[in-house]
Amino acid sequence: MVAQAIKLGYESRIESRVKLTVSFKIRYEKSEPFCTETVTTENISRTGLCIATKQAIPIHTKIYLETPNHRFRALALVVYSTKNKAGLRILASKGSWLVK
């Protein structure tokens, strides 16, 4: 069972990624409505993205994402974090995502 869980976790990380720089406004789920930060992506996949950050974001933090033109909005979950990067899994979205 543990081996299967490890295998499933590994398989979910081998999804194709596209090196693409896109700007997003982000807001932490529990922050003030107008407290936003602009971040850029390092790469994206069909189910998530990696963003460059100014500081580490705790794992399991929920983040709202929005493109500057308001064509895409999403709720994402931080699944990994380092000093200046965070990996996000998209939980729900509205609009057309960049990768199909």
CA angle 10, 92, 23 (to 5 degrees): 85
Beta bridge partners of 23: 40
Tokens representing 66 are 């929005």
- What CATH number did the domain enclosing 61 receive? 2.40.10.220
- Would the pLDDT of 99 be above 90? no
Q: Domain tally for the chain? A: 1
Mean pLDDT over 59-69 rounds to 90
Residues of the domain holding 45: 16-95
Dihedral over Cα of 68, 78, 40, 26: its sign: positive
In a domain, 57, yes or no: yes
For 7-35, how does the pLDDT look when each residue is reduced to its tens digit (9 = 90+)? 344 345 556 777 777 888 888 877 666 56
For residue 66, being part of any structural domain is answered with: yes
Average pLDDT value over all residues in the chain: 79
Q: Is position 6 within any domain?
A: no
Q: Summarize the confidence of residues 28-48 as an average pLDDT.
A: 80
> Which structure tokens are listed for 50?
């990696």
How large is the greatest C-alpha to C-alpha distance in the chain, in angstroms? 45
Fill in the DSSP letter of residue 47.
S
